[in-house]
Structure 1
Amino acid sequence: MTDSTAALRHQMGAASDLQSVVRTMRALAAASIRQYEQAVLALADYRLTVNQGLGVCLRQMQASEAAAPARPGREAAATGLVVFGSDQGLVGQFNEVLVERVLQALRSGPGACPVWVVGERARALLVDAGASVVGTQPVPGSVQGIAPLVERLLLATESHPGQVASPHIRLFFNRMRDGSAVEPTDEALLPLDDAWRAGLQQQAWPTRRQPELVGEGAPVLRVLIRQHLFISLFQACAESLASENASRLAAMERADRNIEELLAGLRASFHKQRQDAIDEELFDLTAAFGALFGKPVAAAPAG
């Protein structure tokens, strides 16, 4: 067998091994999407309970706030940005499109904004673009790692000097659309939207017995708001992880198709070279037979 045929056999073996890895990663990405989607769905009842509690607190505190003297206005702090990217590659333009959305917000903002990033690849892109990254967290590898990450983010944003007195936080993450497409999204986390608060106050209580707020409303309201922040960050992280795996799934499917096309070309070349080698060996045998018995032999066909 010729050296070129052996080289083709080696290339086919390497491509087949790579295809096995790609298909394994594709299966893992498809399985991971489901667990993060289920995590988002599991938040629905928890969010409903927290929103009902917030509605009760806001309604019962509305009268006292209306009667209280007006507070002097405070200068708004720079809006802090929380960005959910990825640590690993093979996700297409997952980080690039998200970072571009973040940079657009930074360019339109009043000045330098503190940025907390989840994911080393998104952090590197933001640092290269000149963003003020004040903290970086690793991307959790499973649903169980989301809650500890959210607690660390809450602690980091609450303790930042620019966010203590007047917190302003905005979330940036990728969200799945139409089952597989990924779309960069940004949402205001703090301060709470006035229309959203008004909607909570107007929502009806699900039972006939009306709830009552025991004790002062401010401490209860702070606890419920923190739970609301936890839910919002948890959902953003879970949706980001689901969309990251959707991007990886799409990238692995493209890679699988490309490898299959490469293998088809290599197999065709391998079979052609092997057939040419067999034809040459047959011609040599025929020529030797003709020389031995004195019979002329036709020339070998061109490969």
Structure 2
Amino acid sequence: MSETAVGLRRKIRSAGDLHSVVRAMKAMASSNIVRYEQAVQALEEYAQSVNLGLGLALREAGRQLAANAEGRAGGGRAMGVIVLGSDQGLVGQFNEAVAEQAQKFLADLPQTPVVWAMGERVQGFLQEADLDVAGLFPAPNTVEAITPLIGRILAEIESRLGYDAQVHLFHNCQNASTQCVPRHLQLLPLDRGWRQRYDSMAWPTKSLPEIAGDPERTLRALVREYVFVSLFRACAESLAGENASRLAAMQRAEKNIEELLADMSGAFHRLRQAGIDAELFDVIAGFEALSREGPRS
């Protein structure tokens, strides 16, 4: 009985330590979500500037260039797919969900695209589906690590495909209910809807700017920045979704640990009370035995 009580006490202590770790991980996940959401918000002003520049470039010099780019990309000669995942654990179905959506999209394609994966875990799910992953990027774990990663992705797109190709992006993000859901985004090409969206943007001031230098080079530079902004936003949203999944997992773990602690504490107190009762019964039985014997002469 004493060994059982000691064992329960040890388990309660271990569960309490684990509970503290889970609470710390919850706090870290909540803090990271705020950081990545702030990064997305901070990016919006720069993204608006890029969008205004694209609208101007299309109006001034890019109509024919964009139409040519659409025609070349629409021919199906080059296509790339980027799948953003996570290298971290305790994220539930985070990698499985985005990999599954990418697999469904790739299964319907008439051509074989170049596939890049961010994170070894999502790469594993893609390879299990017999998909050839041409490149692997390490998943960032800080806001500061996003920009160097995007530089590597842009270099791969430029060297393998070019900005006239079709480039699709799959990543997770939070929805209104703070759940993590996969999302499909077409980054390129500059299709008709893309041109209409940016060509119709009104300049915020009365003084209209002019493009200095080579219009085609300016347009391509703005397209590159547009892809950069889109990838940065997707990475930040993916990291926020990753931490949201981890937060949900830690909340479930915390609830399970609290229930386990309650059960073990109840069992420990019952065991302790049973030991106390047994000792009291022994004392009472001994007292009654002595009382029956009476005083010794």
TM-score norm. by structure 1 comes to 0.90
Q: Identify which of 285, 288, 294 aligns with 1:287.
A: 285
Q: Structure 2 CA distance, aligned partners of 1:123 and 1:266?
A: 41
Q: CA deviation at 1:78?
A: 4.5
Change in 2 beyond 3 A, CA 1:39/1:167: same
Contact 2:73 2:166 in 1 (8 A): no
Residue 192 of structure 1: how far off its partner (Å): 2.1
Q: Which residue number corresponds to residue 134 of structure 2?
A: 134
User: Is the contact made by 1:172 and 1:184 (CA closer than 8 Å) also made in structure 2?
Assistant: yes
Aligned equivalents of 1:213, 1:129: Cα separation in 2: 47
Q: Report the Cα offset of residue 102 of structure 1.
A: 0.8
Does the 8 A contact of 2:72 with 2:164 survive in 1?
A: no
Identical columns (%): 45
**Match of residue 234, structure 1, among 232, 235, 244:** 232
Once the two structures are superposed, residues 50-72 of structure 1 have per-residue CA deviations (whole angstroms, 9 ceiling, x without a partner) of: 11111111111157669x9xx88
How many residue pairs match? The answer is 292
Query: What SS class does the counterpart of residue 174 from structure 1 fall into?
Result: strand
Which stretch has the larger CA shift, 175-184 or 287-296?
287-296
* In 2, Cα distance between equivalents of 1:238 and 1:150: 11
| Cα distance, 1:24–1:165 mapped onto 2, change above 3 Å | closer
- Tell me the amino acid that sits aligned with residue 49 of structure 1: S
Q: Residues 99 and 73 from structure 1, CA distance in 2 versus in 1: closer, same or farther, beyond 3 angstroms? A: closer
Separation (CA, whole Å) in 1 of partners of 2:130 and 2:113:
11
Change (3 A) 1:223 1:65: closer
SS state at 2:180 partner:
strand
C-alpha distance in structure 2 between counterparts of 1:46 and 1:79, whole Å: 27
SS of match in other structure, 1:178 = coil
1:92 aligns with 2:92: yes
Q: 1:166, CA displacement in angstroms?
A: 4.4
Relative to 1, partners in 2 of residues 1:116 and 1:65: Cα closer, same or farther, differing over 3 Å?
closer
Q: Do the aligned residues in 1 keep the contact of 2:15 with 2:261 (CA within 8 Å)?
A: yes
Deviation at 1:288, TM superposition (A): 2.2
Displacement, 1:291?
2.7
1:39 aligns with 2:33: no
Distance 1:155 1:266, change over 3 A: same
Q: Once superposed, what is the RMSD of the aligned Cα atoms?
A: 2.2
1:273 aligns with one of 271, 274, 279: 271
Q: Name the stretch that deviates more: 145-154 or 205-214.
A: 205-214
- Deviation for aligned residue 1:287: 2.0
Structure 1 residue 73: deviation in Å?
A: 8.8
Task: Report the more deviating stretch, 208-217 or 142-151.
Answer: 208-217
Counterpart amino acid of residue 81 in structure 2: L
Name 1:184's counterpart in structure 2. 182
**Distance change (3 Å), C-alpha of 1:249 and 1:191:** same
Q: Where do 5+ consecutive residues of structure 2 fail to align?
A: none
| Residue of structure 2 aligned with 1:214, choices 212, 215, 237 | 212
Q: 1:65 to 1:294 in 2, by over 3 A?
A: closer
What's 2:27 paired with? Answer: 27
Cα distance in 2 for residues equivalent to 1:280 and 1:89: 48
117-126 vs 21-30, greater mean Cα deviation: 117-126
* 1:26-79: CA deviation from partner (whole Å, max 9, x where unpaired): 00000000010011111111011111111111111157669x9xx889842342
Distance in 2 between residues matched to 1:95 and 1:74, nearest whole Å: 30
> Which residue of structure 1 lines up, in the alignment, with residue 171 of structure 2?
173
- Change over 3 Å in CA distance of 1:72–1:146 after alignment to 2: closer
Give 3-state SS (helix, strand or coil) of 2:134's partner. strand
Matches within 5 A, 1:187-198: 187-198=185-196
**TM-score, reference length from structure 2:** 0.92
Distance in 1 (alpha carbons) for counterparts of 2:163 and 2:185:
21
Task: Tell me if the contact between 1:78 and 1:110 (Cα under 8 Å) persists in the aligned partners.
Answer: no
Deviation at 1:173, TM superposition (A): 0.4
**What is the CA deviation profile of residues 216-265 of structure 1, one whole-angstrom value per residue up to 9, with x for unaligned ones?**
20011111111001000000000000011011111100110010000000
Shift of the 282–205 alpha-carbon distance from structure 1 to 2, 3 Å rule, reads same
Deviates more, 1:268-277 or 1:53-62: 53-62
Change (3 A) 1:222 1:29: same
